[in-house]
Structure 1
């Protein structure tokens, strides 16, 4: 496990997270200077530790929000899309104050 990514995620939460809402994984990867995949791996570990909750959000090819309970149907387009055309965005919500 990449402990540097976990440390950087915790630092981001400490320095940048104002509270009340979710954080885009891409914002943290830019802050940490590494790929979204490395940050996601760190977030999975932090979720196991109860420090964060990872959330997925979806949009159709026209970038309309798709509700999880309607996936893969876009109500704005009134169309069901193949899963490979759906955009997936990863966010997380800090659950507890962490100490470095």
Structure 2
């Protein structure tokens, strides 16, 4: 695991985070790293209790699907193929602790 990716995510949180969820694609752009490297870094941060990974699902019509309903969309009243479901990954920094994200 490259500490530079952890440091970059830490830098983003310290300089840009104003609350809410952070899209993994924002971190990919900010850190100029492939998604798999950023995802690996946030998995490390999650295992350290510094962030929480939040996954959201949407049907092809852009309706949110509750995690326990996937792949059934209640708004469409349809069951979709798993390949048609849009998955978006966010992180939620744990900010109620004094945390150094780069370690």
**What is the TM-score normalised by the length of structure 2?**
0.89
Q: Which residue of 2 aligns with 1:55?
A: 54
State whether residues 66 and 74 of structure 1, in contact with CA within 8 Å, keep that contact through their aligned partners in structure 2.
yes
Aligned CA RMSD, in angstroms, stands at 1.2
Structure 1 segment 57-96 matched on structure 2, within 5 A? 57-96=56-95
- The number of residue pairs the alignment matches comes to 99
Q: How many angstroms apart in 2 are the aligned matches of 1:55 and 1:13?
A: 16
Cα separation, 2, equivalents of 1:85 and 1:98: 38
Runs of 4+ in 1 over 2 A off after TM superposition: 96-100
Which sections of structure 1, spanning at least 5 residues, go unmatched? Answer: none
CA distance in 2, matches of 1:61, 1:76: 11
Contact persistence 1:51–1:94 (CA under 8 A): yes
* Superposed displacement of residue 98, structure 1: 2.9
